[in-house]
Amino acid sequence: MTVQRLREALESHAVEEMWKSSLDAYQEGTPQDRLDLAQWIMDVRANFLSHLDDVGDDSDELLISVALGFIEMKSQWQMLNTQINYQVFRKGEANVYMTYKSSLLSVLVDAIGQFLTPEDLEKIQEFLLNPTATAL
């Protein structure tokens, strides 16, 4: 794994197209809402890649940074989805802006997850499903 390979994956045409497709589907929002979401997700990606650039290709630290970035974004995605689910449960509808935010973030989470082993992903998922199960 190298920073360049990560950058190529996260800036790939496939990622950009999935984001574009999601934003195009967001017809309930204004053009400014779509621009705000696009800027938000590009900032999330840019901040993560900036961190990786600073870490460099040191394999141990790079792997740790990728795992931590994945955990951070997956946690944010889970928080968004929990909130969305409770909105639907309590109000009968979800904040549409928030659902698209979750959708955009899931694309980035999936792209980063490709750089982790199935075993690492399983450990992370176990932790995220019940983060208070063990002492930190």
pLDDT, tens digit only, all 136 positions of the chain = 889 999 999 999 999 999 999 999 999 989 999 999 999 999 999 999 999 999 988 778 899 999 999 999 999 999 999 999 999 999 999 999 999 999 999 999 999 999 999 999 999 998 888 887 765 5
Specify if 26 maps to a domain.
Answer: yes
At 135 the pLDDT is 54
The tally of domains found in the chain comes to: 1
Contact 120, 64 (CB under 8 A): no
Q: How far are the Cα atoms of 26, 66, 103 from residue 119, in angstroms, in the given order?
A: 35, 14, 25
Q: What pLDDT does 98 receive?
A: 93
97 found inside a domain:
yes
Q: What is the pLDDT of residue 107?
A: 97
Residue 123 covered by a domain: yes
Q: Is 9 contained in some domain? A: yes
Whole-number pLDDT of residue 134: 65
Q: Which domain holds residue 111?
A: 3-129
* pTM exceeds 0.95, yes or no: no
**Cα–Cα distance for residue pair 62/51, rounded to 1 Å:** 10
pLDDT of residue 2: 87
Q: Is residue 134 part of a domain?
A: no
Question: What pLDDT is attached to residue 26?
Answer: 94
In a domain, 40, yes or no: yes
> Is the residue at 68 inside a domain?
yes
In a domain, 136, yes or no: no
pLDDT at 115: 94
pLDDT given for residue 131 in this prediction: 80
